[in-house]
Chain A
Amino acid sequence: MANADFEGRVYPANAPYSVGREKIREFAGAVGATHPAHHDLVAARGLGYPDLVAPPTFAVVVAQRAESQYISDPEADIDFSRVVHADERFTHHRPITAGDELTTVLHVDRVVSRGAISMVTTRCEIYAMPERVEVPSPEADGLGEHVVTVTSTLAIRGEDA
């Protein structure tokens, strides 16, 4: 049973994730995203973007790191070997582009257990750090521009399910 005490918990902004061009190309290749704006700087800039554009689900790479603060906490009581992904949603306030320094605030929105199944819903609010800052720090500079919201629900089957 997932620990219901975690519902409503909000984690402090985590260490920034630096979005690299090669990571965007690698991720795009892995999901078969052949649009030139993921691979070619000239094509991306031709569409008005400052750099390569990440595919629509790229933010999962960033969100996963933030979610692990919760999922891998032994107190949360989430048996990862019994986890099934139930749903996922990306709401983009603007597209992620290479060069973004992204920091995430993780919210545990829902922890519900019914019978032998627990459902947990997390929400990652992802922000881009201001560009001028050489060593980005959420504490010193505020959270920056809101880029994307990632909502994810996991189902955890109990021993009898």
Chain B
Amino acid sequence: MSRPEIARLAVGDVVGARTVTFDRAALVRYAGASGDFNPIHWNDKVAEGAGLPGVIAHGMLTMGTVVSLVTEWAGDPGAVVDYQTRFTKPVEVPNPGAASIEVTATVAKIDTEAGTVRVDLAVTVDGDKVLGRTQALVRL
């Protein structure tokens, strides 16, 4: 797999964009894989009791999924040395159906001396931001 050359990058370059979808099965799968069995991610009654419109996706599922755009571009998943986000709005997951999440990754900062590039991710559902200040620092 080829890796991006830092000298050829410019701030504002779009690294990639895609739509990812989560259905209820994806939430159950993530619960099992991560060990986060909070019922607001699989039980409507509990979610409604907690003041939510219904079952919501794990924030960590969204955070963990959208970064693939960066690791694939970097050509090495170990190249992501720092990754952070804020959870700004819950992602409702209908039943039946699926939530559709739009992701765009853009080069935000280049540090040639350190050999690192900061890639910012814009993550929205129906135009609303669901993650804020989502930044991945990549060592190239």
Interface residue ranges, A against B (CB under 8 Å): 23, 26-27, 29-35, 37-38, 47, 49, 53-57, 60-61, 64-65, 80-82, 84-92, 94-95, 157
Distance in angstroms between the alpha carbons of A129 and B98 in the assembled complex: 41
Contacts A53-B77, A88-B87 given; 10 further ones with Cβ under 8 A?
A30-B29, A35-B72, A54-B77, A56-B64, A56-B136, A60-B64, A61-B34, A65-B35, A88-B84, A157-B51
Distance of A32 Cα from B20 Cα, bound (Å): 9
Q: Is B114 an interface residue (CB 8 A)?
A: no
Q: How far does the Cβ of B82 sit from chain A's closest Cβ, in whole Å? A: 5
A26 and B32 CA atoms in complex are apart in Å by: 9
B95 close to chain A: CB less than 8 A: no
12 contacts between A and B (CB under 8 A): A23-B33, A30-B61, A37-B77, A55-B64, A56-B67, A60-B60, A80-B38, A81-B49, A85-B59, A85-B60, A91-B82, A157-B51
Interfacial residues, chain B to chain A (CB-CB below 8 A): 20, 26, 29-30, 32-36, 38, 46, 49-51, 59-61, 63-65, 67-68, 71-72, 76-78, 80-87, 90, 136
B82 near A90 with CB under 8 A, answer: yes
Distance of A99 Cα from B43 Cα, bound (Å):
35
Q: How far is the CB of B76 from chain A (nearest CB, A)?
A: 5
Query: Are B71 and A29 in contact, CB atoms less than 8 angstroms apart?
Result: no
Partner of A64, one of B29, B36, B78: B36
